Amino acid sequence: MELKGAVALVTGASEGIGRAIAEALVHEGARVTITGRREKELRAAAQEVGAEWFAGDVGVEADAVRTVRTVIERHGRLDILVNNAGYGIFKPLVDTTLEELEAMYRTNVFGPFLMAREAARQFIRQGSGELINIASTSSLKGSASRTAYGSSKFALRGMTECWRDELRRHNVRVMLVNPSEVMTEFAAKAGSPREASDKKLRPKEIADAIIGALKIDSRGFVPEFSVFATNPF
């Protein structure tokens, strides 16, 4: 697709992968709106990247509806939705609480569902759209201490497959991106800090891969791809 002039909405974009994706889209000439819960950080990121911003929680239905509606009202359309908002908790099964699991699903599963539902209504009306869900290589294989996070990404992967089958007839491309370990604050916030390494992925690699996938002519698309570091050891 042609990214110059396209209207894009990126969730969870005040830092990390989401911010890198927003910056890459702006660089390509897209009109980008970023969203997130932390207004101060969101506003600063938007100013630095050159994007518009709208504060809200993707896991709250009213916020999700209002966010998508606002972007469409401002620009008259919506071409790209990147569902990036999410977080992790890495704990053994026996230490994971129901409250933690519910909260994670609220952001990592219900949030993408709400945003995708609202965006899909516009995509169907206009007969085109790009829906990109940022999952994880944890969506491909379960592992210890990832009951909450891993299962939420498995759920996102499953929903993506359903949406892809449903929306293709409306010329909507639905893609799933599975980043491997990326050098952001994600792991530390999840309770599993990692040592910084120049060999490991940066947010830019994920953003570059997404831009490449979007630039494929709209008659075809990449349904799902993973991004690994070449030699992280």
Question: Are the CB atoms for 36 and 55 separated by under 8 Å?
Answer: yes
Catalytic residue among 54, 110, 113, 149: 149
HSE of 24, CA atoms in CB hemisphere, 13 A: 22
160, 162, 163, 154: which is closest to 176 by C-alpha? Answer: 160
Question: Are the CB atoms for 61 and 36 separated by under 8 Å?
Answer: no
Question: Are the CB atoms for 9 and 58 separated by under 8 Å?
Answer: no
Question: Are the CB atoms for 55 and 81 separated by under 8 Å?
Answer: no
Question: Could you tell me the strand order of the sheet in which 31-36 lies?
Answer: 52-55, 31-36, 7-11, 80-83, 129-134, 172-179, 224-227
Q: How many CB atoms lie within 10 A of CB 125?
A: 13
Which three-class secondary structure state does DSSP give residue 67?
A: helix
Q: Which token pair is 196?
A: 């910084």
User: Is 149 annotated in the active site?
Assistant: yes
Helices (H), 94-173: 98-105, 111-126, 147-167
Catalytic residues: 149
